[in-house]
Structure 1
Amino acid sequence: MALDVNLLGTTTKVAIVTLRPGQVVYSEAGKFLFCSDDVVMETKLSAPTAGGQAQQQQPQAGGFGGLLRTAVDAGKRMAAGESLAFQHFHTNGGDGLLGLAGVIPGEMRAIELDGRTTWFAEKDAFVAAEAGVNFDIAFSGLRQGFSGGEGFVLEKFTGTGTLLIGGAGDFIDINPADYGGKIRVDTGCIVAWDHGIRYGVQRIGGLSRQGLMTAVLGGEGMSVATLEGNGQVILQSVTIDGLAKALQKNTGAGDKKTGVGGMGGIFSGSQD
């Protein structure tokens, strides 16, 4: 039975999930909003298997090796900056209601995995998935990581079921094959791509005057991401770095306009 997901909202999407008996959904910590009283919420170190049970709850099947793999996976997520544990949701009775969302304003997408397709996503794109979707951490290589900044640590999804990913701003769907087979993208604009795409990092120009001008004054740094092949790419219209800089730049802007703690109050009209 397919997961019943309704995406609501405009500038910020919220996933409303109707949980049927026997279905299990897991999310990264911090993505939970609300649930009905009949939904059971548990925190576990690993994602559930297709049968709905967490991997670390089956020591008979994997023994010490299974427990070791669970510890390694949890440590790998923590080292990559992801949450150490997952939150699991299921209902023991009738249909349950569950609300999930990303941590920043923006889009959300439900992707159906069929067991043959692998998806890669930027760190923090994962919102939730149903049991049967395997979550893992992948690395794009040290050279690419140091050059690209944001593309080193990737989230990798395989298996079958519904996957929910989120991003900042609006989503843009593009296939590099429609534009000569290769596109160059600001590393902060990438949300996710399927296994038909090859990810890389390309330096902008060289150590020439124009190259340095682009890096210092163009706001793009020395490198951009490259996406090649024939497959689906999801981009976001707002970069996390751009959002952070805008918030930092405008912190206290209201106080400055009204003159609180500054000279603006002298020219902003009479005050009681």
Structure 2
Amino acid sequence: MQMAVVNLHPGQTVYCEAGKFLFKTTNVTMETRLGGPSGNAGGSQPQGGGGGGGMGGVLRQAMGTAMQVGQRALAGESLAFQYFTAQGGEGTVGFAGVLPGEMRALELNGTRAWFAEKDAFVAAESTVDFGIAFQGGRTGRKGGEGFVLEKFTGHGTVIIAGAGNFIDLNPAEFGGRIEVDTGCVVAFEEGIHYGVQRVGGLNRQGVMNAVFGGEGLSLATLEGNGQVILQSLTIESLANALRKAQGGDKQGPTGGLFSTNAG
């Protein structure tokens, strides 16, 4: 399992998701705040001269933070971020994902946004704006996968993590479109069109119902020209492997078609 060790210049700030922080040097301050930089709660100072402050500016800031917190609550994410700032010299902070796998630093230059699966985000510079993007339609939402994405814009570094190994693909090199298990999608560049479709279902003998509980399979469709990052291990497959290793999976996926219970 990899981790990211971040060296901060004096006054430089990074923020992370709750549960991704590992360690820090004593001259790095830690603060928990609602909302991310796009809600003006990220520690970045407003640009330009006077005239943008006053009660109207405070109200807009509060509304922006409230909207972002509401989006994160709807997405099932933690409501707060942790912010780390180096004081009086250079500092060091360590972060990691929550599953064994790889990490990647994405460099944003302001021209293209990045979208990440909602559990992939680890940390980012305060110059990177954070947002929630709901994509995939009702099918993705029902399946709990591929519907909620996190959007990163601006300039700076974003650190993401995934399970297993990363696989880099560009749909343009495969006829313009690829279909992926929804649990394998980690992140992709702006310009990639993302959707979710349901395949499979029932046949006359009900075999698909026995295997998949009547749900079929969810596939993410990725179209366009841009970088796509996939992970080789899904949370579901990891959980199933651990359950089997502990002797807890004596039956098949539904206890039906592959059941070993002779009674």
- Mark yes or no: TM-score above 0.5: yes
Band of TM-score, shorter chain: 0.7 to 0.9
Q: In the alignment, what sits opposite 2:13?
A: 24
Q: In the alignment, what sits opposite 2:132?
A: 137
Gap runs ≥5 in structure 1: 1-11, 254-272
User: Structure 1, residues 146-204: CA drift from partner, whole Å, max 9, x if none?
Assistant: 46530111111111100001111110000011111111100000000011211112332
Q: 1:116 to 1:144 in 2, by over 3 A?
A: farther
Secondary structure at the residue paired with 2:172? helix
Q: In the alignment, what sits opposite 1:150?
A: 145
Secondary structure at the residue paired with 2:150? strand
Secondary structure at the residue paired with 1:111? strand
Determine whether 1:53 maps to 2:37.
no
Counterpart CA distance in 1 for 2:150 and 2:209 is: 28
Q: Offset at 1:92?
A: 1.2
The equivalent position to 1:181 in structure 2, one of 176, 183, 186, is: 176
Q: In the alignment, what sits opposite 1:258?
A: none
Determine whether 1:13 maps to 2:2.
yes
The equivalent position to 1:113 in structure 2, one of 108, 112, 128, is: 108
Conserved? CA contact 1:31–1:100, under 8 Å: yes
Conserved? CA contact 1:144–1:200, under 8 Å: no
Q: Offset at 1:252?
A: 5.9
Q: Offset at 1:19?
A: 0.6
Alignment of 1:182-201 (within 5 A): 182-201=177-196
Q: In the alignment, what sits opposite 1:78?
A: 73
Q: Offset at 1:22?
A: 2.2
CA-atom RMSD, angstroms?
Answer: 2.7
Q: Identical aligned pairs, as a percentage?
A: 60
User: Structure 1, residues 62-94: CA drift from partner, whole Å, max 9, x if none?
Assistant: 221211221221121122111110000011111
Runs of 4+ aligned structure 1 residues displaced above 6 Å come to: 49-52
Counterpart CA distance in 2 for 1:78 and 1:147 is: 17
Secondary structure at the residue paired with 1:117? coil
Counterpart CA distance in 2 for 1:84 and 1:242 is: 28
Query: What is the TM-score when the length of structure 1 is the normalising length?
Result: 0.80
Secondary structure at the residue paired with 2:188? strand
Counterpart CA distance in 2 for 1:51 and 1:125 is: 22
Q: 1:72 to 1:64 in 2, by over 3 A?
A: same
How many residues end up aligned between the 2 structures?
240
